Amino acid sequence: MKLAVAMLALAAVVLPGAPAAADDADPQHHWTEDAEGRSFRTGFDPGRRILLGGGYGPRSDLSGEPELASGYLEVGVRYRHQLDFEQGLIVWKLYHQALWAKVDLRRGTEPRLLATAYRGRLVRWAQDGGLVLPTNPPKTIPFPLNIGVETTVGQIDYRELPRGFSAEIGAIRSEVVLDLWRQRRLRSYAQLGVGPRYDLWLVDTPTAQAGEAQHLIAPFTSGSFTFHHETSDGHHAVHTQLGAAHRLQVDLGWSSLVTASLSYEVLLFAINDLPVSSVLETDYRFSDEPLVGRSEHELRGSLGLRLAVPID
């Protein structure tokens, strides 16, 4: 824990010092010609695409034998853009992910669905960030961080059980975020976030009434750290996130939730300018009061392929 705090403190000092350079060339403009004069695309934007993927995704609850016979299918839409104001001195960076879903295809066991209706991130970058004090005359104190908000609506983790089902629904999660890596471009950020969240548990088992709901509320007791970086041509992308929440389960008291994820995506080739990439992901989750059908510790890994349709 002390090491993690030290690393975050170092990031807060070092990353804001990175120059706020202009964006790299847009990957949709990365084209080249072969010896016969035919044009083809060499740069892609992982944040502007419709994706279809699939692969192999074993998982384990760390208390028994891992589930190895497990594949998955994945679909989703991602789009991002930026709005410039005051001759480019102020930029709003907007990220959107919608209709994302991943379905487990596990042989001889119950299926699982992970889905998100919408996730949005909006961050304001200013060339000369600062705190203004309303003195006479006004005083300005440098504030080398971007400020924004991130919201997730309609997140679901649904699992079939031998007798019934269980589902955790993230009705809404919102965070105020501070971007430590003060870059103007869309591709890279390192942010801290804190805010409220509201979740629902739906359970249908022999010991629970069908559709019985339990409510979990984190009143600004949920936080995260996210690091994201892509190369300028879109051929490599890495994303990692650490999250923690202390949630009040109505009528049952407080419970803790910790999550961690890491993904790496690399472009393999393109078919008629449609990129095909390989994706390596791993996810960890801990809950001291797990939902029915789950364990305190859960670990999942996956290796798969994605076919993307660029949104230009």
* Bigger pLDDT: 286 vs 295: 286
pLDDT recorded at residue 11: 41
Where does the pLDDT of residue 231 fall: very low under 50, low under 70, confident under 90, or very high at 90 and above? very high
Q: pLDDT of 242-273, one tens digit each?
A: 999 999 988 788 999 999 999 999 999 999 88
pLDDT higher than 50, residue 174: yes
Q: Which residues contact 166 (CB under 8 A, 6 or more apart)?
A: 158, 159, 201, 202, 203, 204, 205, 291, 292, 293, 294
Q: pLDDT of 55-72, one tens digit each?
A: 998 877 776 667 776 789
pLDDT recorded at residue 9: 42
The share of the chain scoring above pLDDT 70, in percent, equals 86
pLDDT recorded at residue 290: 84
pLDDT recorded at residue 4: 40
User: What is the rounded radius of gyration, in angstroms, for the C-alpha atoms of the chain?
Assistant: 22
Q: pLDDT of 21-48, one tens digit each?
A: 334 445 545 777 777 777 788 889 999 9
Q: pLDDT of 94-140, one tens digit each?
A: 999 999 999 988 765 667 899 999 999 999 998 888 888 888 888 88
Torsions phi, psi for 8 (to 5 deg) = -65, -40
Q: Give the residue extent of every domain in the chain.
A: 76-310
pLDDT higher than 70, residue 12: no
pLDDT recorded at residue 69: 64
**Which among 166-170, 179-183, 221-225 has the top mean pLDDT?**
221-225
Whether the CB-CB separation of 268 and 236 falls below 8 Å is answered with no
Average pLDDT of the residues in 147-151: 96
Where does the pLDDT of residue 173 fall: very low under 50, low under 70, confident under 90, or very high at 90 and above? very high
In this structure, what token pair is assigned to residue 17? 């010092």
Q: Which residues of 157-196 are buried (b: 16+ CB within 10 A; e: fewer)?
A: bbbbeeebbbbbbbeebbbebbbbbbbbbbbbbbbbbebe
Average pLDDT of the residues in 291-309: 90
pLDDT recorded at residue 2: 41
Q: pLDDT of 208-226, one tens digit each?
A: 665 578 899 999 999 999 9
**Short-list 147, 152, 157, CA closest to 119:** 152
pLDDT higher than 50, residue 3: no
Q: pLDDT of 182-209, one tens digit each?
A: 888 899 999 999 999 999 998 887 666 6
Where does the pLDDT of residue 283 fall: very low under 50, low under 70, confident under 90, or very high at 90 and above? very high
* Bigger pLDDT: 42 vs 308: 308
pLDDT recorded at residue 13: 37
How many helical (H) and strand (E) elements, i.e. helices and strands, does the chain have?
A: 1, 17
Amino acid at the residue 36: E
Q: Is 29 helix (H, G, I), strand (E, B) or coil?
A: helix
pLDDT higher than 50, residue 5: no
